[in-house]
């Protein structure tokens, strides 16, 4: 149901955008009416223009050339509005000059969709006069998208062997020369387990804390629940010890491993670490059964993934470093020319994931409001 609603919203949004946006000028234009003091109706043609509103993703560069300056104009009947406050989503703000012009900076190194809109007209003027209230309302409703994404091109399509109702679409994300698609992979591994007292009772409200050997900063778990369970994630590092302690705020007591002892975490899988606190003192014995470590399934993954705007089931592979992927989708869906979306994925998976692995449409989250959600494929 969630995907059905979202897909309908996308179709409605696209329909309205086509109706009000002149693509070749990258502008949104609207006709609005206001009332003079005498009651006569006035018609205004208002527009928010951007010189360019779509950018293909670029790798970070030392010379900061991945930052792009985008210029725009705010006009009423082709006359400039000066002093209007323009905002980029809920981030940076700028003000139109006497010519109604403004500029914003976009980072082409981030897959993102921003909304350029008029955020305030408190000090704005049109031909030296204050903006009429009726006109303000419509100006404040103007929006224009500013999108950074990977353009998508189709290499070939073929029927699925044994199922002519489906097609395989071989496609790729377009990359700049000498650039690679962002690597998808493990960001962090889980550490889960329990904290119990010497009598085997669950300890609630305790936190398990890790500090890397020789560096500042630490990782802290969530407080243990009524079953003594905790969880957290850690970034894998080769052959690096961690100092471990358990803090019990209700007693203002910190339990530690024996002096000079560290815990060596694996760098290619997570662990389940069950801890038993001592009956006396604050030193945790670093051996079973008071400290027991076993493998834990899954990992936290991070990377750019590509999805299809459809309510039907489909599968799609994790893009490789060349940006290539394979989409398997019902043929009748593909014939409707569906659009794609791109997300900055970050999520947990019990199963290992790698480049080229097949993902189901149920696995893929829908894009957030600040992610590219309507990418027309080039066939």
pLDDT, tens digit, for every residue of 201-234? 999 999 999 987 655 557 899 999 999 999 999 8
pLDDT, tens digit, for every residue of 87-102? 999 999 999 999 999 9
Under DSSP, the state recorded for 184 is: P
Length of the chain: 379
Calpha distance 316→283 (Å, rounded): 51
Calpha distance 233→237 (Å, rounded): 13
Q: In three state form, how does the secondary structure of 126-195 look?
A: ECCEECCHHHHHHHCCCEEEEEEECCEEEEEEEEECCEEEEEEEEEEECCCCCCCCCCCEEEEEEEEEEE
pLDDT, tens digit, for every residue of 121-135? 999 999 999 999 889
pLDDT, tens digit, for every residue of 280-297? 999 999 999 999 999 999
For the whole model, what pTM was predicted? 0.81
Average pLDDT of the segment spanning 194-205: 98
Query: Given this model, what pLDDT does residue 66 score?
Result: 95
The rounded Cα 56 to chain-centroid distance in angstroms is: 17
pLDDT, tens digit, for every residue of 2-44? 455 444 444 444 444 433 333 334 445 555 555 444 445 568 8
């Amino acid at each position: 149901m969630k995907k059905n609603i979202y897909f309908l919203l996308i179709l409605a949004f696209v329909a309205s955008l086509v109706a009000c946006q002149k693509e070749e000028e990258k502008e949104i234009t609207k006709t609005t009416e206001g009332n003079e003091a005498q009651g006569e109706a006035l018609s205004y043609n208002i527009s928010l223009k951007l010189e360019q509103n779509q950018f293909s993703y670029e790798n970070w560069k030392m010379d900061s050339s991945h930052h792009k300056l985008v210029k725009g104009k705010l006009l009423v009947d082709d006359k400039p509005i000066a002093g209007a406050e323009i905002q980029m989503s809920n981030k940076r703000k700028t003000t139109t000059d006497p010519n109604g012009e403004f500029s914003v900076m976009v980072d082409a190194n981030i897959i993102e969709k921003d909304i350029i809109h008029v955020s305030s007209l408190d000090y704005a003027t049109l031909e030296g006069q204050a903006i009429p209230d009726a006109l303000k309302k419509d100006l404040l409703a103007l929006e224009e998208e500013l999108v950074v994404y990977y353009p998508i091109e189709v290499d070939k399509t073929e029927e699925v062997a044994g199922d002519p109702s489906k097609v395989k679409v071989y496609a790729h994300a377009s990359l700049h020369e000498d650039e690679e698609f962002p690597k998808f992979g493990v960001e962090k591994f889980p550490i889960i387990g329990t904290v119990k007292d010497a009598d085997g009772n669950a300890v609630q409200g305790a936190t398990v804390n890790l500090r890397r050997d020789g560096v500042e900063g630490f990782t802290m778990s969530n407080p243990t629940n009524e079953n003594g369970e905790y969880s957290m994630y850690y970034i894998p590092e080769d052959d690096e010890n961690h100092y471990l302690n358990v803090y019990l705020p209700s007693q203002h007591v910190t339990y530690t491993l024996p002096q000079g002892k560290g815990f060596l975490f694996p760098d290619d899988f997570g662990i389940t670490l069950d801890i038993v606190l001592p009956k006396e003192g604050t030193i945790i014995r670093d051996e079973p059964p008071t400290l027991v470590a076993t493998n834990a399934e899954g990992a936290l993954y991070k990377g750019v993934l590509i999805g299809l705007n459809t309510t039907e089931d489909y599968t799609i592979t994790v893009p490789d470093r060349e940006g290539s992927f394979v989409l398997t989708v019902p043929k009748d869906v593909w014939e409707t020319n569906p659009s794609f979306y791109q997300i900055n994925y970050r999520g947990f998976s019990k199963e290992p994931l790698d480049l080229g692995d097949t993902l189901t449409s149920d696995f893929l989250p829908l894009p957030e409001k600040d992610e590219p959600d309507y990418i027309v494929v080039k066939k």
